[in-house]
């Protein structure tokens, strides 16, 4: 009986923290790292699996950190208590529902930031100044993301740069070089990540505006955000086609265009952003498009 109760308590704790760190969103960083490693394999036919595993660990720690600190910041500003939470927006709800203390969430965010930073510092000692530059940018940006960066309407830009740098860093750790394809794919992955952030900010529009936050959607408006959403999708598709034609990417990279039906559905649903059900469907399809496109892109380098 005691063992069963202990097991249930541990199970509940694991579930709560899994919810707090937003496991389903961690796939974005997994896809970015995988692309960097896959490009290196395409170029050199070799992968250092020890470095690969350590890269995944460090990047995931940093990703978890920014999400936890974002949850803490949004709760403190009253955003999460003034918006309707969905599967893809409005925070995790663990703080407003008194499931995990806000101070504990903040401390966990800092601990994960330190772990990610220490992992990055190891690569600084083995790989040099390039990784140091990427690491400094990551740590500063993560800590100030939920305040200064998002408040300035630069959240999507930061996420795009972050995605690009993860691909670059993952590739550099494997190959000790920065090459055109890694930069090119980094931009594509960054745009896919920015796309998800843009659409998931729609439901929080009123709460963000009330709190004084100036997200991109507040700065340019909902209608223009829909247009930007379409432009980003078009740009990612154009880059994949153009990269394949000009041999920056392997011709097999065009298989990532199989994700387009999800993008089309996301656009169709987002155009009805005043309907909450349609908006949730748009967010779901946007995430699927982003992840499937990124995964297929990585696979194209391994074929």
What's the pLDDT score for residue 153? Answer: 82
User: What's the rounded Cα separation, in Å, for the pair 93 and 23?
Assistant: 14
Domain extent for 189: 30-302
The first and second tokens of residue 10, run together, are 């541990």
In a domain, 87, yes or no: yes
In a domain, 157, yes or no: yes
What's the pLDDT score for residue 1? Answer: 62
Distances (CA, A) of 271 to 133, 199, 268, 279: 40, 11, 6, 9
In a domain, 3, yes or no: no
Q: Give the pLDDT of the chain (303 residues) as one tens digit per residue.
A: 667 677 778 888 888 899 899 888 899 999 999 999 999 999 999 999 999 999 999 999 999 999 999 999 988 888 877 778 888 887 788 998 888 999 999 999 999 999 999 999 999 999 999 999 999 999 999 999 988 888 888 889 999 999 999 999 999 999 999 999 999 999 999 999 999 999 999 998 888 888 877 888 999 999 999 999 999 999 999 999 999 999 999 999 999 999 999 999 999 999 988 888 899 999 999 999 999 999 999 999 998
- The domain tally of the chain equals 1
In a domain, 2, yes or no: no
In a domain, 236, yes or no: yes
């Amino acid at each position: 009986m005691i063992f069963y109760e202990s097991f249930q308590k541990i199970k509940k704790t694991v579930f709560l923290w899994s919810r707090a760190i937003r496991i389903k969103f961690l796939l974005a960083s997994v896809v970015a790292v995988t692309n960097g490693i896959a490009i290196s394999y395409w170029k050199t036919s070799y992968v250092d699996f020890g470095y690969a595993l350590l890269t995944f660990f460090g990047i995931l720690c940093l990703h978890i950190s920014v999400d936890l600190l974002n949850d803490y910041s949004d709760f403190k500003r009253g955003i999460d208590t003034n918006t309707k939470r969905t599967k893809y927006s409005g925070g995790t709800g663990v703080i407003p529902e008194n499931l995990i203390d806000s101070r504990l969430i903040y401390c966990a965010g800092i601990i994960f930031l330190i772990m990610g930073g220490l992992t990055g510092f190891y690569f600084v000692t083995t790989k040099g100044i390039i990784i140091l530059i990427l690491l400094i940018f990551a740590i500063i940006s993560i800590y100030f993301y939920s305040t200064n960066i998002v408040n300035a309407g630069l959240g999507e830009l930061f996420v795009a740069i972050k995605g690009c740098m993860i691909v670059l860093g993952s590739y550099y750790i494997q190959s000790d070089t920065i090459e055109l394809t890694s930069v090119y794919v980094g931009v594509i992955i960054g745009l896919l990540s920015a796309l998800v952030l843009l659409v998931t900010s729609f439901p929080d529009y009123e709460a963000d505006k009330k709190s004084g936050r100036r997200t991109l959607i507040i700065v340019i408006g909902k209608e223009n955000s829909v247009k930007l959403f379409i432009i980003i999708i078009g740009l990612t598709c154009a880059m994949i086609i153009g990269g394949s034609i000009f041999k920056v990417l392997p011709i097999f990279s065009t298989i990532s265009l199989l994700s387009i039906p999800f993008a089309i559905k996301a656009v169709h649903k987002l155009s009805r952003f005043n309907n909450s059900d349609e908006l949730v469907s748009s967010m779901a399809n946007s995430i699927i498009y982003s992840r499937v496109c990124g995964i297929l892109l990585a696979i194209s380098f391994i074929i």
